[in-house]
Structure 1
Amino acid sequence: MLCPDIGLPRFSSGPLVPVVAYLLVIVVLSGLVIISPGASPPPVLGMLWGVFLVALTVGALRIETVSPRSLLPPVRTLIPVIGVVIAFWGLYNLVAVALAVGGISGFDASLSRTAAHPLLYLAALFSSLLFTAIPEELLFRTYLQEKFTRLAGGATRRAVLAGIGLVAVLFALFHLPRWFLASGHGVGSALAARLLGLTLMGLAYGSVYALTGNLWLVALFHASMNQPPVIVSVHIPTELHLVASVIEYAAIVSLVYLTVRVVESGGTPLIWSRRNNPASTGD
């Protein structure tokens, strides 16, 4: 099954723990960016950052008297997770190849670096998954989104949507230290477009998590969006990046929603069913 049987956790504290955890993340990230202001941090620093996020999240959950292990999907869900992600990128590649063959600007009928060097791509994907996607999604979706959903009411659709929306904004703001400190950008239309794109990304990942409760699924989508497995060369013009992002994220959420409706038992996405499950995942 794609959706693990995980109820909304019964956290034992108020909003102080997630607020302090988030502020600590911003402070530590800002320090790391100052130390290593390049486009991408050294591998060792990236690994330490991932370990820090996991340790911080586990510590916050322990303070909340919630067992971190109880929130992790069973290993058996990896098979349908991989199937859904492969289906998405298979459709993506079909469209990209069709546009390239059709001579559409931005799509070239030549092999991408991914197709030319598959082993290097797999190594980059695994690194992104292990040290970026899983730690970030563990913090933002498994903890913060669930926490704020519980604080907003827990067993209501409005609470679920509030949790998704609030954490999507926090996820976008989380990227500001690198925007200001590493890239040297200022405040302007480019920043607004960047924040909008990141918020849409957070909304998509948050929706996938709310629909399935599966950390592996949302993390693999996150990692593969960071390292797109496209077999032809794609160069989307800057002015169309936001439009392309909207299409991509809408396709991800739609595919997951349809999969849950058609394949999962009962055909009811977790966004509407598991939230009414009062089961606790505490120790």
Structure 2
Amino acid sequence: MAETQRVANATVTPRVFVEVSVSGVKFSMLVDTGTGRTLVSDTLFLKLAGHSKLQVSRVQLALADGSPLRVLGETRLRIRLRSENFPINAVVVEGLQYPSLMGADFIQSYGFVIDLRRKSLFCEDRRIDVPLVTCDDWADDEEACVYAIEKVSIGPKSAASVLCMMNRKYSGDALFESSLKLEAVGGLVPRCLVTVSNGKFNMLVRNLFDHELCVPKKILLRKISPLCRDICSLEETRTASKENDVELKAILWKLTTETAEESLDEKQKSSLFELLWSFRDVFAANKRDLGQARCSSS
């Protein structure tokens, strides 16, 4: 019988992240020595589809309070730090609110040392020194706002990437609300999930009009909601995030695997998922989601 491993409470401060990549996909890993195994969320695993395979796992995980976590399997990852690759068997967990947790197995296997004073993660054998990004505590009553860092001019009926900054230090995923200020002058900034690194992120702004649109420097765009919740509140986090594309991906992938069962191989399942995803605007993530599709009867 598999032994149940405990996962520490990820709200212990200071929370530190390290920027990594796997097969060209960049994301932030929460450095958590209290977790014995390196963990990957189901949403991140979907992003890595085609680069990693899901294998059967006998690992059982539970939170510090004894609440069980649903393990979907294990996957072999080549985590890239700087110019070096570090292979590790990561456990894929359903409903994990962080993209990934760097556990004690990874840190000890390669002899990494965490230096909170210097805010660095370094490995003497490989001569690698990677900066750590600190995530400040986020009070529920605090509002995070987004500002444009620089002035950007967008041509008629075109789009441009705008570098934005939050009024708090934060790294991780966040939900950006649509900007009413830009919409009033013809700019479209849809409600979307963004990945923030040290308070900064890029956002695509569309100009719907026939004239040039100017995004002024330091303009207050809108509030933003960091998805940095207590790991014990998995059900609450999962419910709150169902309105975004990442959650919908997980729903459609589950639908694909449950429908196909043993009749389709992995390649066929991936093709079926891609077909469903191409019609993502038709699906509703929850009962309040009206979707983006416009249907009319003839």
TM-score (norm 2): 0.25
Name the one with the larger strand percent: 2
Name the one with the larger helix percent: 1
Q: Which protein is bigger by CA-based radius of gyration? A: 2
Relative contact order, higher structure (CA 8 A, sep 6+): 1
TM-score (norm 1): 0.26
